[in-house]
Amino acid sequence: MVKKRPSSGQVRIISGQWRSRKLPIHDLEGLRPTTDRVRETLFNWVANDVRGSRVLDCFAGSGALSLESLSRYASYAKIFELQAQAAKQLVANLATLKCDNADVIKGDSLALLANKPSEGFDLVFIDPPFRKSLAEKSIALIDQHQWLNDDALIYVETESEIAQLNVPASWALLKEKKAGQVIYRLYQYSAEQVSEADINTDTGEAS
């Protein structure tokens, strides 16, 4: 029996230095690129925060979110992807764009997030495969291992039946929207909130 080869599609960069560029992606199981409409909304939300930011894409898939950020002049992107074919395509697409300020790391995102980074990130994308309970596990690891710079923005995209996410007290919900079977949220991290929580825990009093 001949093994069926995965078919290919495209992802389109919406704006920035690579505006309207179309890049190939593999049609792999669990690969679910964020739609153009949702991406447009997301990047309207973070329009003033992308340039110069350090980006972490936890479940890159097609790389639509990290590539869009780099097109809009993010300073650096660290890109996690489990599937070998998708990771290889991401490397190829970055080469096509002559982009040298991003690293693609093939591996299990939860295992990678269980390490403390040498430097924090300003913009984080958590868009995992649906119905695998990965979003909240990722959130906990990012908080525990200090992946965030102060005032970092965190985008979380999940299936719409997850009506509420458990997030740290230091994460404030800024935006929330539903589109079909997807619900997406934008949070902001505040180190000050962490400090206040520590004071309350130690003394039993508000700061």
pLDDT in tens, 104-125: 999 999 999 999 999 999 999 9
Residue 203, pLDDT > 60, answer no
- 8 A C-beta contact, residue 67 and residue 23: yes
Distances (CA, A) of 23 to 45, 93, 166, 196, 199: 24, 7, 35, 45, 49
pLDDT the model gives residue 8: 66
Q: Residue 97 pLDDT more than 90?
A: yes
